[in-house]
Structure 1
Amino acid sequence: MVTETNNLPGLAADPSRRALGLDLPSGRLLNETYQGPWPYPLMWLADARAVPGQWSAQEAARRAADLVPVLVDVGGPSGDPEGWDLMCGNLSDPEDLGAEEMLSYHWAELREKRAGGVVAPFDAPWPGLAGAVSSDVDPDVQAAQMADALSGDDSWLKDPRLALVSAECNADIPAAIGWSGALHHEDDSGVLSAVLRSWDERFGTRVVALTANRLVLSVAAPPTTLDQAVAVAAEHAAFCPDDLDRSPHATLEEYAAHAVLGRRTWVHHWD
């Protein structure tokens, strides 16, 4: 989850923010909500709204510093992420979890909760993981393009800020900061990151933005057939059942056709 060498404190100790080869705007460290004997840094967060080009401008330097970028929206009802109850203690390590095991478990759990005339889309057995999709699009380039779009004046994000997280890979961002946006459905963000690692491998996804209860992913290799999309839709339903509950498309097939097939953006929104 968190890298063995956490360079975040170095940003706080260096007012110029250049010691790690970075040239960042002004910002600050956010520490874990529950602080033990000492503060534990979870992310560096810029003081001002992100602008297009900021994400990709220093990609090489960020990689050298083992810091992963993500946009954090501080303009929603929950405001600054200091109010999001970020806690990374006692989480599962994504490396120790299997995506299919986690998704099939949640699928079965949701079927049980909705038993007695099980409603769509949980009225069928777990179908298994969807197959990988090949693409000639670089996932990091796709993510940077989406970050630029979400940083623009017409973005649906209210106040996106560039943040840097110390994590082994992009998929581990939720686990590295103890993101609690899915708390009522999944209280262990390590599980979320285990699934995100699998989506990274199969569909070239990247976590591009976080709000208090939304996870925005870029998708370099989205499903290109309806059968593939339906299989992915089942994974979405197990990962974030609120996606389907909120959707006007009641069946997996309808959701897949409108929200998954060929879509290069996946937004998971927990109530």
Structure 2
Amino acid sequence: MLGRLFPDGGEGRTLATALPPGDVVWPDPGYAGSVAGHRPAFWLSDEAVAGELWTELRGEHGRSGLWPVLLEDSVQPWSAGQIAPDAVAEIDNYHPAAFMAEVWSDWTEKAHVDQLELLDPFGPRCPGPAPSGELAADPGVVADWYAGMVAERRTPLGLVAAERGADALAVMGWQGALNHNEWMVPLAAVVRSWEDRFGVRVVGMGFNTLDLSVAAPPVTPEHALHVAAEHWTFCPDSVIYSAGTLVDYAEQIRGRNAWSFWWD
């Protein structure tokens, strides 16, 4: 059954870990933005799972080609098929720096002068992507730790045929940030970049949420502020509703090994 998730039928892939009851999920052809596909988007467990199962499956990713994702326990969007999968190849067409600059420019051009205080000390000038962080621990170990925490919410499990966790956003057809950006592929490109620069791993997704582990977080106020600017272009709501300004938000993420995003 899991072989159906791969374009080649999963030839050469192996999975030793026993899975709980579940089934593959197909996009609902009646859902806006969905395109009829030739294979299911992901596999979904029937019930909530323990964090230990996520850890076992992550450890097998290199052999199985399946990335585990803890999913918010709700009918929407998962079992209802309210998803719009995209080709992984599309991610290569987007660059995080260009996406960040475009979002920054679009907002600042329309903003009132007093609104620009939100973006202090950068103002209308986009600072671009932040430098890489320094690894404080193995990214896989940090991801396993955070998965244990997320699993305490009693979440079902998704398995996605993806070479890396960031690609799961496109492969699954997750639409959680739709009110911010009409296409999820550029966001997947940003998360890929975070995987490389900050040891980020995709751990969980919800209807409009995304949970990432972070093995190389910013530890200085200056670096955290630069990363906060990236987060604002990725998910403005996380900054506006949790902190109000980039400076205050930077303090919230400094040294933290988990980033959680929520879109209104």
Give the TM-score category using the shorter length: 0.7 to 0.9
Q: Mapping of 1:78-157 within 5 angstroms?
A: 79=76, 81-83=78-80, 85-89=82-86, 93-122=90-119, 123-152=123-152, 157=153
Q: Which residue of 2 aligns with 1:254?
A: 248
Structure 2: gaps (5+ residues): none
* Alignment counterpart, residue 7 of structure 1, candidates 3, 14, 19: 3
Q: Give the AA of the match of 2:174.
A: W
1:21–1:189 CA distance, 2 compared to 1 (3 A): same
Q: Match of 1:215, SS?
A: strand
Give the deviation of 1:144 after TM superposition. 1.1
Q: Give the AA of the match of 1:255.
A: Y
Looking at secondary structure, tell me which structure has more helix per residue: 2
Matched, 1:63 2:62: yes
Q: Give the AA of the match of 1:119.
A: L
Matched, 1:230 2:230: no
Q: Give the AA of the match of 1:109.
A: D
Give the deviation of 1:48 after TM superposition. 1.3
Q: In 1, distance between residues paired with 2:37 and 2:140? A: 34
Q: Mapping of 1:163-242 within 5 angstroms?
A: 163-242=158-237
Q: In 2, distance between residues paired with 1:194 and 1:234? A: 17
Whether the 8 Å contact between 2:176 and 2:263 is mirrored in structure 1 is yes
Whether the 8 Å contact between 1:218 and 1:264 is mirrored in structure 2 is yes
Q: Match of 1:102, SS?
A: helix
1:201–1:89 CA distance, 2 compared to 1 (3 A): closer
1:81–1:145 CA distance, 2 compared to 1 (3 A): same
1:128–1:30 CA distance, 2 compared to 1 (3 A): same
Whether the 8 Å contact between 2:25 and 2:81 is mirrored in structure 1 is no
1:179–1:79 CA distance, 2 compared to 1 (3 A): closer
Which deviates further from its counterpart, 115-124 or 103-112?
115-124
Q: Match of 2:211, SS?
A: strand
Q: How big is each residue's C-alpha offset from its partner over 1:20-44, in whole Å with a ceiling of 9 and x where there is no partner?
A: 4341111110112227666531111
TM-score for the superposition, normalised by structure 2 = 0.86
Whether the 8 Å contact between 2:87 and 2:171 is mirrored in structure 1 is no
Give the deviation of 1:82 after TM superposition. 3.2
Q: Match of 1:255, SS?
A: helix
Q: In 2, distance between residues paired with 1:85 and 1:92? A: 22
Q: How big is each residue's C-alpha offset from its partner over 1:92-141, in whole Å with a ceiling of 9 and x where there is no partner?
A: 71212111111111111121232454333243310121110111411111
Structure 1: gaps (5+ residues): 1-5
1:108–1:8 CA distance, 2 compared to 1 (3 A): same
Q: In 1, distance between residues paired with 2:37 and 2:115? A: 48
Q: In 1, distance between residues paired with 2:96 and 2:66? A: 24
1:206–1:58 CA distance, 2 compared to 1 (3 A): closer
CA RMSD of superposed structures (Å)? 2.4
Q: In 2, distance between residues paired with 1:252 and 1:29? A: 40
Identity %: 32
Whether the 8 Å contact between 1:143 and 1:206 is mirrored in structure 2 is yes
Q: Which residue of 1 aligns with 2:26?
A: 31
Which deviates further from its counterpart, 214-223 or 26-35?
26-35
Q: How big is each residue's C-alpha offset from its partner over 1:181-235, in whole Å with a ceiling of 9 and x where there is no partner?
A: 1001111111011000111111001111101000011110110100000000000
Q: In 2, distance between residues paired with 1:53 and 1:133? A: 27
TM-score for the superposition, normalised by structure 1 = 0.84
Whether the 8 Å contact between 2:76 and 2:82 is mirrored in structure 1 is no
Q: Give the AA of the match of 1:252.
A: L
Q: Give the AA of the match of 2:246.
A: L
